[in-house]
């Protein structure tokens, strides 16, 4: 199974709010987890990369992985209008990004709107 579930939104929040974005998955073999940000008409860019369970923080962004619940989250603190974008989660059972069962599986993306 490679299914990853992600609410497409849109999720609209006021500037300064804490944003929580989530993905659930069914494949217990996934152990590499990523969040990509995609602005309109642009390509995805890597935002956060975590291995296995736990938290990782980078500035206003925190990625959280709960493997027991098969659930990952991205938190954005002090959200800004420039954070308005589509956020894609991605995960893999392998550190290798090739094809086949070990390849990357992407969520559908959540469209986030930060209201000024």
Partner 1 sequence: NAGVTQTPKFRVLKTGQSMTLLCAQDMNHEYMYWYRQDPGMGLRLIHYSVGEGTTAKGEVPDGYNVSRLKKQNFLLGLESAAPSQTSVYFCASSRSGRVGELFFGEGSRLTVL
Q: What is the contact surface with partner 1 in residues (CB under 8 A)?
A: 4, 6, 8, 32, 34, 41-46, 49, 88, 90, 92, 94-99, 103-109
Q: Name every residue whose Cβ is closer than 8 Å to that of residue 99 and which is 6 or more positions away in sequence.
A: none
Q: Name every residue whose Cβ is closer than 8 Å to that of residue 13 and which is 6 or more positions away in sequence.
A: 19, 79, 112, 113, 114, 115
CA distance 37 to 109: 9
The least distance separating partner 1 from the CB of residue 68, rounded to whole angstroms, comes to 22
The least distance separating partner 1 from the CB of residue 116, rounded to whole angstroms, comes to 26
The least distance separating partner 1 from the CB of residue 38, rounded to whole angstroms, comes to 9
The smaller minimum CB distance to partner 1, of residues 19 and 107, is found at 107
The smaller minimum CB distance to partner 1, of residues 19 and 30, is found at 30
Q: Are 45 and 36 in contact (CB under 8 A)?
A: yes
The smaller minimum CB distance to partner 1, of residues 1 and 97, is found at 97
């Amino acid at each position: 199974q490679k299914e990853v579930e992600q609410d497409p939104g849109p999720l609209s929040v006021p500037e300064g709010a804490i944003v929580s974005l989530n993905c659930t998955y069914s494949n217990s073999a996934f152990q590499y987890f990523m969040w990509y940000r995609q602005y309109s008409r642009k390509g995805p860019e890597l935002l956060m990369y975590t291995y296995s369970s736990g938290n990782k923080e980078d500035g206003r962004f925190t990625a959280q992985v709960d493997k027991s619940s098969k659930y990952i989250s991205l938190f954005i603190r002090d959200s800004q209008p420039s954070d308005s974008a589509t956020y894609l989660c991605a995960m893999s059972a392998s550190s290798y990004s090739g094809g086949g069962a070990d390849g990357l599986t992407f969520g559908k993306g959540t469209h986030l709107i930060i209201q000024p």
